[in-house]
Amino acid sequence: MIGVPDARWGESVKAFVVLKPHHTATAEDILAVTRDHLASYQKPRSVEFVAALPKAPTGKLLKRELRAPYWAERESP
């Protein structure tokens, strides 16, 4: 999950999901699960399905690469 620009709040949560092979889910399914398991400020407002998440050679998730397209024209907080 990352923070993306939001007109009302300044920033909102966006979830990136990689589905396992032969599994399906919708954005609504993901949002329903988060409603039951996360605090309100942690819940994503949107979901994007991707083939793979960008990772460094060490295996660490590169959130800056996920954020870049959303903050290209703005300064991130």
51: how many CB neighbours lie within 10 A of its CB?
A: 6
Pure H helices in 11-75: 27-37, 63-71
| Model pTM score | 0.81
> Average of pLDDT values for 7-18?
91
pLDDT tens per residue across span 13-70 = 999 999 999 999 999 999 999 999 999 889 999 999 999 999 999 999 999 999 999 8
More confident residue, 76 or 61: 61
Q: How confident is the model at residue 77 (pLDDT cuts 50, 70, 90)?
A: low
Q: Coil, strand or helix: which one is 46? A: strand
Domains of the chain: 2-70 (3.30.300.30)
User: Would you say 55 and 62 are in contact if contact means Cβ atoms under 8 Å apart?
Assistant: yes
Question: Residue 35: what are its φ and ψ, rounded to 5°?
Answer: -60, -35
pLDDT at 75: 62
